[in-house]
């Protein structure tokens, strides 16, 4: 789904070998890209530049390659863009850098903290630290958007839109059997999101279908278990 008009920008692409959801939104001169985890991000960025749309902020939900991998390629194309990653990824990130040879991966420009508020043009985004799938996984919760955006084109609303990475999927959650993942932390993060996100919140996941919090509270077996006080790990 790709929409650009004078009142805003919205693009949703599925990219990379693991079908990562990559999202682009914001002011055309101060645009935000979330999770450029496939080489298609290069073409997406160049196509945007042809439309005079400039990526200024590359937000990464966590440090896995299928979300982070092409962030610096995007940065090369969009001079002055910053790459954002939560500071919880530092421990797992350093050895990851040493193993990569065929693609440029560097330190992020901005290490994020929990509950930090990002003011990116006319958009305000709260950083919710949700460790479990990885130590520095985050949810980017929109808390303020410009009044002038056309909601017929741009499916985003204040306090009801969250980019959750690999924390919650439609009917499932992110893996916790990977290096540096932690099942107990994931359970606590899910409890945190149940409290933090209202039932009308649209969930933009790192993979799979866009969903909403109400649907997941009613149907996601992991969230159902937590609401009933049942351990699932």
pLDDT at 2: 61
CATH number for 79 = 3.60.15.10
Per-residue pLDDT band for 157 (boundaries 50, 70, 90) equals confident
> pTM above the 0.75 mark?
yes
Residue 155 in any domain: the answer is yes
Residues 145-170: what's their mean pLDDT?
A: 88
Question: How many domains would you assign to the chain?
Answer: 1
Residue 165 in any domain: the answer is yes
CA pair distance 47, 78, nearest whole angstrom: 12
Can you give the residue range of the structural domain that contains 180? 2-227
CA pair distance 118, 115, nearest whole angstrom: 9
Residue 24 in any domain: the answer is yes
Mean pLDDT score of the chain: 92
Residue 22 in any domain: the answer is yes
Of the CA atoms within 13 Å of residue 180, those in its CB half-sphere come to 17
Cβ partners under 8 Å of residue 152, min gap 6: none
Residue 193 in any domain: the answer is yes
Residue 233 in any domain: the answer is no
Q: Which residue has the tokens 């999202």?
A: 23
Residue 232 in any domain: the answer is no
């Amino acid at each position: 789904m790709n929409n650009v008009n004078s009142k805003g920008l919205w693009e949703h692409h599925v990219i990379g070998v693991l079908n990562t959801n990559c999202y682009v939104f914001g002011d055309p001169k101060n645009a935000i890209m979330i999770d450029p985890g496939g080489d298609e991000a290069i073409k997406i960025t160049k196509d945007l530049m042809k439309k005079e749309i400039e990526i200024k902020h590359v937000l990464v939900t966590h440090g896995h390659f299928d979300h982070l991998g092409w962030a610096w390629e995007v940065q090369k194309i969009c001079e002055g863009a910053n790459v954002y990653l939560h500071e919880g990824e530092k421990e797992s990130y350093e050895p990851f850098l040493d193993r990569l040879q065929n693609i440029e991966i560097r330190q992020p420009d901005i290490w994020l903290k929990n509950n930090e508020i990002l003011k990116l043009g006319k958009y305000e985004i709260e950083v919710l630290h949700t460790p479990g799938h990885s130590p520095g996984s985050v949810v980017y919760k929109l808390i303020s958007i410009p009044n002038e955006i056309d909601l017929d084109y741009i499916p985003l609303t204040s306090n009801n839109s969250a980019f959750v990475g690999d924390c919650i999927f439609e009917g499932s959650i992110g893996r916790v059997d990977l290096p540096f993942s932690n099942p107990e932390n994931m359970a606590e993060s899910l409890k945190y999101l149940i409290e933090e996100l209202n039932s009308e919140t649209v969930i933009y996941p790192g993979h799979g279908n866009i969903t909403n919090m109400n649907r997941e509270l009613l149907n996601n077996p992991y969230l159902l278990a937590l609401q009933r006080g049942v351990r699932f790990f």
